[in-house]
Amino acid sequence: MLERLQRRLGLQTIPGIFFTSAGIAILFVALAIPFDEQVAGAFGVLTGWVARNLGWFYILSVSSLLIFLFGLAVSRYGSIRLGSDDSRPDYSNLTWFTMLFAAGIGTILMFWGVAEPVSHFASPPFDGVKAGTEQAASDAMTISLYHFGLHTWTIFAMPGLAIGYFAYRHDLPMRISSLFYPILGERIYGPLGWTVDVIAVLGTLFGVATSLGLGTLQLNSGLNYLFGVPTSGLVQVLLIAVIASIAATSVALGLDKGVRRLSQLNIVLALLLILFVAAVGPTVFIAEGMVQSIGDYLDALPWLAFWTETFKETDWQRQWTLFYWAWTISWAPYVGIFIARISRGRTIREFVAGVLFAPTAFTLVWFGVFGLSAIDVESGGLVDLATQVENDPSVAIFAFLEAFPLAEVASALSVVIIVIFFTTSSDSASLVIDMLTRREDQPSLVRQRIFWAAAQGVVAASLLLAGGLDALQNVITSLGLPFCLLLLFMAVSLFRALRADYRGYDVTELVQGRVFPEVEATPTQVKQESDYVS
């Protein structure tokens, strides 16, 4: 039936993945719009249950994956390449690093670069720390780096490493299901593999929709500051429609003409904004603070990585750490595939070191410039940032820029950066989702990519109408759990494949825990997928 529907619509997909993912997304929107309060309440209850009973699982999982990646890098497997033994990287180190820190972090840094440090500075989460003190400032920077540093990039690096390994070294399709070949064998081409890919598609869809929703809140605040545009649900839905339209146009143009040019432009604009704040802000304070923040972060990381608020009855960790981990996990398929595509030929050791430390260094600079400057502004009483952030974190960066010369120009530049960041996130995610829902021998149709770009906008609008920021946090915290489980199984599958690889076996010889010396079937045979589809 799905095969006939696909032919009638003129699509090029794996029907079991495409129609299941699209159907669940459509069902969510159909329920969220007329029953917004009930949907918001249901996800609120679900998120509360996850936070109370499985918050420790998120914390333990991400920290364990970080240790796992470090272990791989320093182990005997660290010299294995993402490709054949004689392959070499496609990009120079400088180009690779530039592309890495441009992948997937601009959206969240623009929203939280000022809001998070100021929030923790004004309301410290640790007992015995008074607001506005030196210790509160130090803790605020440490927590921010914890949320956006090594742990965030562990979540991205895990699928990126696994995808690159299985795709380039063993010629498996660049889909999440391929990572489970050592566990599922040829069943990755059937319903079990499709289930894994559906989870990846939905995670990407809702993760990017959450970012689009947050970006819309921030964009609405910027336009209100610059032009007096009212802050309302109607305006936010219209903004989503505009951004989705731009993203659809970009995704129709393709990777080189659309995504690449917008990404290059936005990197330049973001660097200009950083240099502007660093130059007109407290430059020496920023430099000193960044150096100290490195030490504070490394000192606190071992215990902070396993901190679960066991002896406190608060909602802080759900609102911050669990939300971040779930949000980042939902982005993992999208960013992981992007990182894998630019990392062919690198050793596992090079990959882990580069993906974990290069973007973390950029994050340190970003929070050093914006976070430390915001703390300085708040401490000096130039702008009451804490109150504004508490009321609406989306206004943080615009309220912050009021303390500097050329505030309106800088705010206008921020609005442009926000629009492009979310446009590039949306169109890149549309390309990745389309890749996850079709075979490698099938062409990427423009209408399929446009459908996914539009779906992101519609889901984002539904989430905003269902409760704004709280709804975004609740939905993503709940939906991040299935892919968190996939990440753990991914690590097990990768380790099994690496162990067989090191002993001289091919991954096609590793099925259900046994190694077969002779296997005729090649995992890239498209016929296998065609047979399942038929």
Model confidence pLDDT, tens digit, residues 103-116: 556 667 888 899 99
Question: Residue 297 sits in which domain range?
Answer: 2-171+199-438
pLDDT above 60 (res 458): yes
Domain membership flag for residue 459: no
d(CA 3, CA 5) in angstroms, rounded, equals 5
**Number of domains within the chain:** 1
d(CA 395, CA 112) in angstroms, rounded, equals 10
pLDDT confidence tier of residue 198, bands split at 50, 70 and 90: very high
Q: 525 Cβ partners below 8 Å, 6+ apart?
A: none
Domain membership flag for residue 375: yes
Least confident of 271-280, 294-303, 377-386: 377-386
d(CA 36, CA 309) in angstroms, rounded, equals 31
Domain membership flag for residue 103: yes
pLDDT confidence tier of residue 335, bands split at 50, 70 and 90: confident
pLDDT above 50 (res 532): no
Mean pLDDT, rounded, of the chain: 84
Q: Are the CB atoms for 107 and 211 separated by under 8 Å?
A: yes
User: What confidence tens digit (pLDDT) does each residue in 49-102 have?
Assistant: 888 888 899 999 999 999 999 999 999 999 999 998 899 988 888 778 767 765
For residue 299, what pLDDT is reported? Answer: 95
pLDDT above 90 (res 208): no
- Work out the number of other CB atoms within 10 angstroms of the CB of residue 378: 24
pLDDT confidence tier of residue 524, bands split at 50, 70 and 90: very low
pLDDT confidence tier of residue 522, bands split at 50, 70 and 90: very low
Nearest Cα to Cα of residue 11 among 428, 440, 438: 438
DSSP assignment string, 129-173: PPTTSHHHHHHHHHHHHHHHSHHHHHHHHHHHHHHHHHHHHH---
For the segment 277-290, the average pLDDT, to the nearest whole number, is 94
pLDDT above 50 (res 33): yes
Going from the C-alpha of 466 to that of each of 117, 164, 234, 398, 476, the distances in angstroms are 28, 38, 13, 26, 13
For residue 488, what pLDDT is reported? Answer: 93
Domain membership flag for residue 135: yes
For the record, the structure tokens of 290 come out as: 């960044």
Domain membership flag for residue 466: no
d(CA 50, CA 39) in angstroms, rounded, equals 16
For residue 341, what pLDDT is reported? Answer: 85
d(CA 483, CA 489) in angstroms, rounded, equals 10
Residue 386, H or E segment = helix 385-391
Domain membership flag for residue 18: yes
User: What confidence tens digit (pLDDT) does each residue in 129-181 have?
Assistant: 999 999 999 999 999 999 999 999 999 999 999 999 999 998 888 889 998 88
Least confident of 35-49, 410-424, 498-512: 498-512
Give Dmax (Cα) for the chain. Answer: 73
Domain membership flag for residue 523: no
- Find tokens 């079991």 and name the residue: 16
Q: Is 262 exposed, middle or buried (0-12, 13-18, 19+ CB in 10 A)?
A: buried
pLDDT above 60 (res 290): yes
What is the distance in angstroms between the CA of the first residue and the CA of the last residue of the chain? 10
pLDDT confidence tier of residue 512, bands split at 50, 70 and 90: very low
pLDDT confidence tier of residue 41, bands split at 50, 70 and 90: confident
For residue 390, what pLDDT is reported? Answer: 85
d(CA 344, CA 136) in angstroms, rounded, equals 43
Going from the C-alpha of 126 to that of each of 51, 63, 305, 311, 374, the distances in angstroms are 19, 20, 15, 11, 20
Query: Running DSSP on this structure, what letter comes out for residue 84?
Result: -
186 vs 400 pLDDT, higher one: 400
514 vs 254 pLDDT, higher one: 254
Q: Are the CB atoms for 180 and 200 separated by under 8 Å?
A: no
Domain membership flag for residue 496: no
For residue 528, what pLDDT is reported? Answer: 47
In three-state secondary structure terms, 438 is coil
Q: Are the CB atoms for 65 and 153 separated by under 8 Å?
A: no
For the record, the structure tokens of 368 come out as: 């050093």
User: What confidence tens digit (pLDDT) does each residue in 459-480 have?
Assistant: 888 878 776 667 767 777 777 8
